[in-house]
Amino acid sequence: MKIQLFNPFNSKRKIISFILSIFTVALILISVINPSMAANCEKDVSTIQNTLNEYTHNLKTNFKKHVSPSFNLFEESKEVKKISGILDEASKFKYVHGISSSYKLPMQGGDCWAMSDWLYNHIKKTGVDCRIIQYETSLANNHRSVQIKIDGKWVDLPYEMFNFDYRFVASYSKPKMFVYKY
């Protein structure tokens, strides 16, 4: 099964256009307030565009070099292959804030607590080692997600590979993380 990963660099032109639009609006405002300053800024816009192009190219290169190989771990993992049906099914559940019961998840939807419990219960039945972790995110101080053990290391489930709603996805940074259930 080949899964298309989200690649933020596919929208490179949109990002650059947006940033240049902001600079253009700023330039117009500056030209109204101080015309001589605006003339100097116009020269800088092309420099800014070149810098942005170089920066996004470097980001794309680093993404391919450092982040993409970690996804290969999942594609080749016997653990993920074993639970891929569970992840396919779970990815279709909708996010509903405040519904934390996993038994309601398939019919009504639920939050990250419900999703984590549902995934944990179903993955455990397959014999794959898993655990629920809890940590702070920018959206909540008690976000929960699931990790599985691959080659002796705990790794986040490949939520992105299965197109889960972003509110279920594990964050890369996990301040104040603890194991909720093992």
State yes or no: pLDDT of 58 exceeds 80: no
Closest alpha carbon to 147 in 137, 164, 132, 169: 132
What mean pLDDT is reported for the chain? 77
* Model confidence, pTM: 0.60
Q: Based on the fold, state whether residues 126 and 167 are members of the same structural domain.
A: yes
Mean pLDDT across the stretch 22-49? Answer: 64
- The whole-number pLDDT of residue 101 equals 86
What domain count does the chain have?
Answer: 2
- The whole-number pLDDT of residue 171 equals 85
Sheet of 153-156, strand order: 153-156, 143-150, 130-135, 178-181
Q: Tell whether 51 is covered by a domain.
A: yes
The burial of 4, by beta-carbon neighbours within 10 Å (0-12 exposed, 13-18 middle, 19 or more buried), is given as: exposed
Q: Based on the fold, state whether residues 52 and 99 are members of the same structural domain.
A: no
Q: Based on the fold, state whether residues 163 and 108 are members of the same structural domain.
A: yes
Q: Based on the fold, state whether residues 35 and 67 are members of the same structural domain.
A: yes
- The whole-number pLDDT of residue 87 equals 92
Q: How does pLDDT run across 95-127, given as a tens digit for each residue?
A: 999 888 898 888 889 999 999 999 999 999 999
Mean pLDDT across the stretch 13-25? Answer: 67
Q: Based on the fold, state whether residues 70 and 83 are members of the same structural domain.
A: no
Q: How does pLDDT run across 61-101, given as a tens digit for each residue?
A: 454 444 444 445 556 688 888 898 999 999 999 999 988 88
* Cα end-to-end span (Å), the chain: 29
Q: Which domain holds residue 119?
A: 77-181
- The whole-number pLDDT of residue 128 equals 94
- Of 52, 75, 98, which residue constitutes the final position of a domain? 75
Give the domain CATH number at 83: 3.10.620.30
Q: Tell whether 28 is covered by a domain.
A: yes
CA distance 94 to 170: 16
State yes or no: pLDDT of 6 exceeds 60: no
- The whole-number pLDDT of residue 73 equals 54
Q: Mapping DSSP to helix (H, G, I), strand (E, B) and coil, where does residue 40 land?
A: helix
